[in-house]
């Protein structure tokens, strides 16, 4: 059975983490969603492309999360989250997912 597409897991983690934090009004709960989906993506990255690639994509995931905050001040919260989630999905797809 094929695993979860890592691009989808990463994008879902960024979108879901923000949504959970915003609607529950509990930022730590959003962090749990962010980390859980990130762990799923990292596992898939490691299984499909190895430790070095998984570490690089994990760093990109953290950078996307961190970068969404200053970007949100310029374009708004939801547009920022959609932008970084989409960017992370594209990077994951280009580096790992499209390999099959």
Residue 22 is predicted with a pLDDT of: 96
Q: What is the residue extent of each domain of the chain?
A: 6-99
DSSP state at residue 63: H
Percent of the chain with pLDDT over 70: 97
Residue 9 is predicted with a pLDDT of: 96
Residue 1 is predicted with a pLDDT of: 38
Say if residues 41 and 6 touch (Cβ distance below 8 Å).
Answer: yes
> What is the full DSSP assignment across 8-59?
HHHHHHHHHHHHHHHHHS-HHHHHHHHHHHHHHHHHHHHHHH-HHHHHHHHH
Q: For residue range 43-82, what is the model confidence (pLDDT) as tens digits?
A: 999 999 999 999 999 999 999 999 999 999 999 999 999 9
DSSP state at residue 96: T
Q: How far apart are CA 2 and CA 9, in angstroms?
A: 14
């Amino acid at each position: 059975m094929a695993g979860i597409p890592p691009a989808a897991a990463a994008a879902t983690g960024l979108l879901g983490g923000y949504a959970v934090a915003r609607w529950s009004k509990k930022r730590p709960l959003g962090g749990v969603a962010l980390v859980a989906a990130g762990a799923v993506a990292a596992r898939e990255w490691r299984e499909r492309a190895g430790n070095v690639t998984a570490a690089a994509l994990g760093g990109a995931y953290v950078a996307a999360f961190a970068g969404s905050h200053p970007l949100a001040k310029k374009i708004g919260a939801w547009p920022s989250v959609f932008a970084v989630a989409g960017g992370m999905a594209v990077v994951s797809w280009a580096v790992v997912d499209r390999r099959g």
